[in-house]
Structure 1
Amino acid sequence: MLDMNRFPEQSQINELIRRIDSQGIEQLKNVHHEIFMQNAQCLSSQGFVVVDIDQSGLIANGKTYELAQKGYFSKKKNQKGYQLSTAFCGGENKN
């Protein structure tokens, strides 16, 4: 993946996230979009496309978490965190 022999350790990922600037964020968005456009088979579907959207909360308690907001976290009151959203799409393959 990404021409790496192995996936980075959590501490390495955290260090990258702490150092990333707005230009780096824009580059990550572009890479994500490019990979999605290359691999999302539902974009060329001729029939119905089913989209499944999954949302979950991720608690982020700490002073280093930027943009974390108070929200609803099941069985956890008065917590800050992030709302994660994922969409899966699929449809009929009419070849």
Structure 2
Amino acid sequence: MSDVINNRNHHRFELEAEGHLATEHYKLDGKFITFEHTDVPKELGGKGIGSKLVQGALDQVRAAGLKVIPECQFVKAWIEKHPDYADLVTR
């Protein structure tokens, strides 16, 4: 399993695992990043890949000084379960 990478050309974070690609699609507007959709192939379901993808993406967002708009329900639920990332969410 590789690290989460930001594929800026495709506006998504990517995590490759077991020959499959999990993605977190986003829209960037100035200092705000909107997470729109998480896609984890069914072959990777239940293995924590989605969580690793979201955490890796949010760590990069924090390092870049961005604020998050979590339109994606998976990202929203993940942040609610991990309150140490709640400061990234714009109100």
The structure with the greater share of residues assigned to strand is 2
Q: Which has the larger radius of gyration?
A: 1
Instruction: Mark yes or no: TM-score above 0.5.
Output: no
**TM-score, normalization by structure 1:** 0.27
The higher-RCO structure (CA 8 Å, 6+ apart) is 1
The structure with the greater share of residues assigned to helix is 2
